[in-house]
Amino acid sequence: MAQIRIENVRKDFGSFNAVKSSTFTIEDGEFFMLLGPSGCGKTTTLRMMAGLELPTSGEIYIDGEEVGQKPASQRDIAFVFQMFALYPHMNVGKNISYPLVSQGMPKAQVKKKVDEIAEILGITDILKKPVGGLSGGDRQRVALGRAIVRNPKAFFMDEPLGALDAEFREHMSEELRALHDRMGATTVYVTHDQLEAMQMGDKIVVMNHGVVEQFGVPQEIYDWPATKFVAQFIGSPPMNFLDFNGMVGNGSTEVRLNDIAMAIPQCLDGANGALSFGVRPEHVQLDDAAGYRGVVKATEYLGTTQIITLETPNGVIKARAPSSDAVRVGATTGLRFDPRTVTLFDAKSGKALRSQANQGVLAHG
């Protein structure tokens, strides 16, 4: 069990700055996701926490102890890689017991521990089997067993399910999460899959180009993205952006989209310049009585819901509606946005404009 904190951590590879100054805390027992596109620096961040890479500057704390310059062997953590390298000449039980045997633990104690872990992982019946003929799932369970058996302070996993097909991946992600809930060990997990991060994580850090864009619980990140990047990276389809110029005035909270005034209950007095109006597809309502108009360009059937693509005076947007709604391609329709669900962004910096106080109101409103 461990709390992990990274403070102003930076990593350079030669003249290339892979991770910019990053700061966040992983609380004891959390299932914590490092999420971002390929090359954003998530693996490098994980490797620095695990001690496989040393930070160029900044501090890393595990349970309050600064470990930034200590090697992995002195951090009492376990690393689970995507490719589960098992010892091919050993059976399942021996693969799991290996870390304990090499520590010199007495035989009876090793057996007890391995039996316990096998029970947790549901692999008691294959303990004597060679690892060669095992299914992908069982190989994964054995690799996890070998990581768990040492009772490390924390687990570090780098896209552990990346090589699996979609169906099996979903099954294993549920199993991993259930295992975590049973054991309660701090787990740091790298993924580029936003859905996996949302489904599995207690908290998520979203990275882009070596920068921590946002850090929080999944719902907060989905509902209140701190940047346009996060709003686009999370959610499928992503958040819609309608660009417009100028804003409000007189301390009012109203935006004008193509001359249609819309109340925004956000403390945005003084915001001006190029702004982006962000709204998630499920918060775009088709309502013929609404003044803001769009033309239906396409519909995509998804079972219980459908995605409707519309052309508006401010650009193309997507709406999610029940499949039972009759929508005709080519028709003009009114669009309504629930102002409580809208996020405004500075179009240049990409940063969300909103106040913390207002977030609280909206989160409960």
CB 198 within 8 A of CB 217: no
The verdict on 40 binding ligand ATP (CB under 6 A) reads yes
Under the binding rule (CB under 6 A), the answer on residue 77 touching ligand ATP is no
Least gap, CB of 46 to ligand ATP (angstroms): 8
Give residue 87's identity as a one-letter amino acid code: Y
Residue 211 CB, nearest distance to ligand ATP (Å)?
12
Residue choice 20, 150, 192, 336 for contact with ligand ATP (CB under 6 A): 192
- Of residues 52 and 198, the one with the C-beta less far from ligand ATP: 52
Nearer to ligand ATP, 232 or 314 (CB): 232
- Distances in Å between the alpha carbon of 183 and those of 98, 149, 330? 21, 12, 55
Q: What is the dihedral of CA 105, 108, 114, 120, to 10 degrees?
A: -120
CB 235 within 8 A of CB 280: yes
Strands in 258-292 per DSSP E: 260-263, 274-279, 284-286
Q: How far is the CB of 155 from ligand ATP (least distance, A)?
A: 17
Q: Which residue is nearest to ligand ATP (CB)?
A: 43
- Residue with smaller CB distance to ligand ATP, 173 or 333: 173
Binding residue (CB under 6 A) for ligand ATP from 5, 42, 203, 283: 42
- Distance CA(247)–CA(49), nearest Å, equals 44
Please name which of 191, 175, 111, 188 lies closest in space to residue 141, comparing C-alpha atoms: 175
Map residues 133-172 to x or -, x wherever contact with ligand ATP holds by CB under 6 A: ----------------------------------------
Q: Closest separation between CB of residue 154 and ligand ATP, Å?
A: 18
Residue 134's contacts (CB-CB under 8 Å, 6 or more residues apart) are 92, 126, 142
Q: Applying CB under 6 A, does 15 fall inside the site for ligand ATP?
A: no
What 3-state DSSP class applies to 279?
A: strand
Does 194 interact with ligand ATP (rule: CB under 6 A)? Answer: no
**Residue 18 binds to ligand ATP (criterion: CB under 6 A):** yes
CA atoms 115, 117, 123, 126: torsion sign: negative
Neighbours of 151 (CB within 10 A): 14
**Single residue of 29, 41, 68, 145 touching ligand ATP by CB under 6 A:** 41
What's the min distance (Å) between Cβ of 201 and ligand ATP? Answer: 16
- Counting every residue written for the chain, the total comes to 365
Closer to ligand ATP by CB, 50 or 110: give it: 50
Tokens of 150: 């040492």
Of the candidate residues 15, 38, 103, 250, the single one contacting ligand ATP (CB under 6 A): 38
- Residue appearing with tokens 């951590």: 9
Query: Which one of 44, 95, 309, 333 is in contact with ligand ATP (CB under 6 A)?
Result: 44
- Alpha-carbon dihedral sign for residues 143, 147, 150, 151: negative
Q: Does 73 bind ligand ATP (CB under 6 A)?
A: no
Q: Does 191 bind ligand ATP (CB under 6 A)?
A: no
The residue range among 32-40, 142-150, 242-250, 282-290 that interacts with ligand ATP, by the rule CB under 6 A, is 32-40
Tokens of 185: 């060990």
Where on the chain is the footprint of ligand ATP (CB under 6 A)? 13, 16, 18, 36, 38-44, 192
